[in-house]
Amino acid sequence: MIVAANLTKSYGGKEVLRGLSLEARPGEITMLVGENGAGKSTTMKLLAGLAAPDGGSASIGGHDLVQSKLRAQQTLSYLPQNPDFHPRLTCSGVLGFYLRLRGLQKARLERALEQVGLTSFGRERIGTLSGGMRQRLGIALLLLPNTPVLLLDEPGLSLDPGWRQRLQEILQEEAARGKTILMATHLIAEWNGVAQRCLLCHQGRIEREIDPSDLLNDFKAGPGSARVSRAGNGVPPLRTFDSARHDLEPAEKKCVTARTPSPARETRALPGAGSCLP
C-alpha cells in the first residue's frame, strides 16, 4: 500500500509538486499519467526515498518515508527511468551485488536473468549491452528482492514491443500475487487496459482518476488539444469545454483549438461539434 498526502516539492524555487495526494492499493496496478513536467517522476523519486518532500507525508507499506526511510525502502523495489549500472561489471555481477546488498540468497540470480531473457548475457559487461538490455536488467533488479511494493518510472521506454508486452504480463502477474504497483508513464497507447486504476497528474497535483480501459479516448497524449470544426451549428460555445485550462484560440476560420485533459470525451459531448481531430 502506498499513501501520499499533500506532497510538495520545489527545485530552485520552482514548485514541482503542489499538494499531491494519491493511494495505490495491493493487488492493483496504478498508473500515474500526465504530460512532461507534470510531476510524475518527482513523485516516484519521493516515494523511492531518493528525495525528501518539502511538505506532506508519504508511507510505503505503513512505514513513513521520512521517519523510517530504510524500513520503507525495504518494502519497495524501484526501477528508474533510465536504469544504468557500473560499466565495468557483468550482468551477473550487478545482480549478485544487489542480492548481497539486500542480504538475499544467490539462488535468485539465475531466475532473475531467465525472467528477462538475459541468461546467456550473464558474463557480458554492462558497457557492451544495448539500451533495451539494460532496461531488461533493470526489470530483473526490480523483481529480484520480491518486495510487496513496486515503483516503475516510465518503464519500457527502450524496450521493443515484444518485451514491452512481456513487462505488462509480468506486472499483471505480480499484481495478481497481491503486490502494490505504481507506475508513471506518458505512453498512454502502450499501457491501455493494463492498469486497474489510472491517475491524471497535472501541474503537481492529481487532477482526477480516469478510465484505465479507455485511456486513448479519455486522455489523448496528456492534456492536449482538440480541434473542433465549425461544421453544423457553428462554433461550439467556449464554456462547453468545462475543464479546458488553456486558451481557446481560433486556429483558422473553420476550426477552434482547445487544450483540455480529455479532448475526445468533451468534444463528443459538444452540441453541434463537427469532429474532433487529435
Partner 1 sequence: MLALNDSETSVARGRAATSAVITRELHSAILNRYLQVFCVLALAGGIGAALVTDTPDAAPMLILQMALYFVSLFALLIGTSSARAESQEWPLLFAQPIPRSAFLLGKFVALALLFAGLLALLFLPTLFVRAPGAAFLFLYGHTLTLAAAFVALGLCTGFLARDRVQGLVLGVGLWLLLLFGMDMIALLVAHSSFLQRWPDIWSSFLMLNPLDAFRIDALFALEKIPAEAAKQTPLTSWWLAHTGLWFVAISLFWMAVLLAFTARHLKHWED
**Interface residues with partner 1 (CB under 8 A)?**
45, 48-52, 68, 70-71, 73-74, 76, 78, 80, 83-89, 93, 97-98, 100-103, 138, 141
In the bound state with partner 1, the residue whose beta carbon lies nearer, of 87 and 232, is 87
Residue 131 CB, shortest distance to partner 1, in Å, is 12
| Nearer of residues 85 and 163 to partner 1, judged by Cβ | 85
Q: How far is the CB of 219 from partner 1 (least distance, A)?
A: 27
88 or 253: whose CB is closer to partner 1?
A: 88
Strand partners, 277: 227
Beta carbon of residue 107, minimum distance to partner 1 (angstroms, whole number): 17
Give, in degrees to the nearest 5, the angle at Cα 33 between 29 and 39.
Answer: 115
Closest alpha carbon to 27 in 176, 142, 161: 176
Closest approach of partner 1 to the CB of residue 127, in Å: 10
> By C-beta, is 79 or 210 nearer to partner 1?
79
What are the DSSP calls for 79-138, one per residue?
Answer: E-SS----TTSBHHHHHHHHHHHTT--TTHHHHHHHHTT-GGGTTSBGGGS-HHHHHHHH
Sheet strands side by side (includes 14-24): 14-24, 2-11, 55-60, 63-64
Closest CB to partner 1 among residues 83, 274: 83
Neighbour-count burial of 240, counting CB atoms closer than 10 A to its CB (0-12 exposed, 13-18 middle, 19+ buried): middle
> Minimum Å distance from CB 77 to partner 1?
8
- Residue 171 CB, nearest distance to partner 1 (Å)? 18
Nearer to partner 1, 51 or 187 (CB): 51
